[in-house]
Chain A
């Protein structure tokens, strides 16, 4: 019974963590160790919560199938097996508490991006920050289709009883912002903005029925920026870094040179989490391209 484990883990969370699960939106300014200490129990809970919900769904399906088979058995055996009726009734009635439990766990569920993206990225970036140095982190895991995130909406309605009717809604969800200084003196900024396009289509089927379909497309726009110090890294020209491709933006400053790389990932799954590897690879590509500054006198 995994839901028992999930409930027990939820009860172990402190009020601050429960509150974060409730709002799923917050700005942090803490050391990587503090952030991990804060997120780790929630990540472990979220994992067990997902497993518990999956298990509960399986139980609901099992109960439904057993109830159906029970009803058939009652019909076939009629009065011969009076014990079957209460058993079938109990199995059928179990479906409701299981569904309620699953719904309750769903209410305290948090987007998988927390445990599969935020925690690993903070963990990895934390390896290269100076001990005790803080990370500025802005998270918004509230949901991608909130009214407040609606950027534009276009309705294509041919009129009364005319089909298809298509509504295209575009949401903008800037859910991840991380800024910190690395151990080599570079300033790092990682951002992820999701753009969700939801197409709701109402149409008349061949049989004359009115049907509705909703389709979502998600674009994860990941941007990794590194402001490298001239003291540490040789100033690069566009020609030096042309292998980084046209997505690179290069900006020169008095003491630093800013490298900014973008990557866009498309998916149809609105709940899909972002792979931390995508961010790591963008940063890795920049570090693999730049050259160390020549030491004076050498």
Chain B
């Protein structure tokens, strides 16, 4: 049986060890019951990442009316809020989570800190180094 696809944690991400039960209606990945909630209004199962992001969007759009946040009152003081908050926090660029802890994450997955090294702007300033050029062949034998 497939394991839950959720990464738990905030400063450190770890794999969830529980078996997946159902798919998220938004992203389609499978999750365990702990990481799925019914989305208010449509009563479809959403994973905490997708639900959290929706909650953050509704909080940011609170000027338009408080009612949007009211829909998520049950989840606002719940773990679901953390998942949306961490998504915002990571994307703000001030933090990249570590992949270590008492539960080992699959360290062959590339995280944001791996990826950012390969930005075109991150290429070495050394004139010896190669800048991004689709025609350049680094692996020319």
Chain A in direct contact with chain B (Cβ < 8 angstroms): yes
Q: Which residues of A contact B81 (CB under 8 A)?
A: 120, 123
Interface residues of B in 84-141 (CB under 8 A from A): 85-86, 89, 94-96, 98, 100-103
Per-residue contact bits, chain B 46-65, to A (CB 8 Å; 1 contact, 0 not)? 00000000000000000000
A-B contact pairs, 5 of them (CB 8 A): A47-B73, A123-B78, A127-B9, A127-B82, A183-B103
Cα-based distance from A292 to B107 in the complex (angstroms):
14
Binds B, one of A14-22, A61-69, A149-157, A282-290: A282-290
Contacts of B98 in A (CB 8 A): 184, 287, 292
Closest to A119 in B: B77
Contact check: which of A43, A44, A128, A281 meets B10 at CB < 8 Å?
A128
Given contacts A40-B78, A47-B73, A123-B77, 20 further A-B contacts (CB under 8 A): A36-B77, A39-B77, A40-B77, A115-B77, A120-B85, A123-B79, A123-B82, A127-B8, A127-B82, A128-B9, A182-B12, A184-B12, A184-B100, A277-B89, A281-B95, A284-B89, A284-B94, A288-B96, A292-B98, A292-B100
Closest 10 pairs (CB-CB, A-B) = A284-B95, A127-B10, A183-B101, A40-B77, A43-B77, A184-B101, A119-B77, A183-B102, A128-B11, A124-B10
Mark B residues whose CB is within 8 Å of A: 8-12, 14, 73, 77-79, 81-82, 85-86, 89, 94-96, 98, 100-103
Within 8 A of B (CB), among A1-44: 36, 39-40, 43-44
A232 near B77 with CB under 8 A, answer no
A255-283 with Cβ < 8 A to chain B: 277, 280-281, 283
Total cross-chain contacts (CB, 8 A) = 68
Alpha-carbon distance A292/B12, docked complex (angstroms): 13
Q: Is the CB of A287 within 8 A of B85?
A: no
A73 within 8 A of B: no
User: B9, B77, B85: which has the most chain A beta carbons within 10 Å?
Assistant: B77
Q: Which chain B positions have C-beta within 8 A of A126?
A: 79
Query: Chain A: residues with CB nearer than 8 A to chain B?
Result: 36, 39-40, 43-44, 47, 115, 119-120, 123-128, 130, 182-185, 232, 277, 280-281, 283-284, 287-288, 292
A residues less than 8 Å from B14 (CB atoms): 183
B77 contacts A280, C-beta separation under 8 Å: no
In the complex the two chains form, what is the Cα distance from A128 to B100 in whole Å? 11
Query: Chain A nearest CB: distance from B66 CB in Å?
Result: 8
Question: Within the complex, what minimum Cβ distance (angstroms) separates A294 from chain B?
Answer: 13
Q: How many whole Å from B75's CB to the nearest CB in chain A?
A: 10
> Do B77 and A183 touch across chains, with their CB atoms under 8 A apart?
no
> Which residues does chain B contribute within 8 Å of A280, judged by CB atoms?
89
Q: Among B85, B96, B100, B102, point to the contact of A124 (Cβ < 8 A).
A: B85
A181 to chain B, nearest CB (A): 10
Q: How far is the CA of A216 from the CA of B111 in the complex (A)?
A: 46
Inter-chain CA distance A243–B50, complex, in Å, is: 35
Contacts of A124 in B (CB 8 A): 10, 82, 85-86
**Taking each of B12, B73, B96, which has the highest tally of chain A beta carbons within 10 Å of its own beta carbon?**
B12
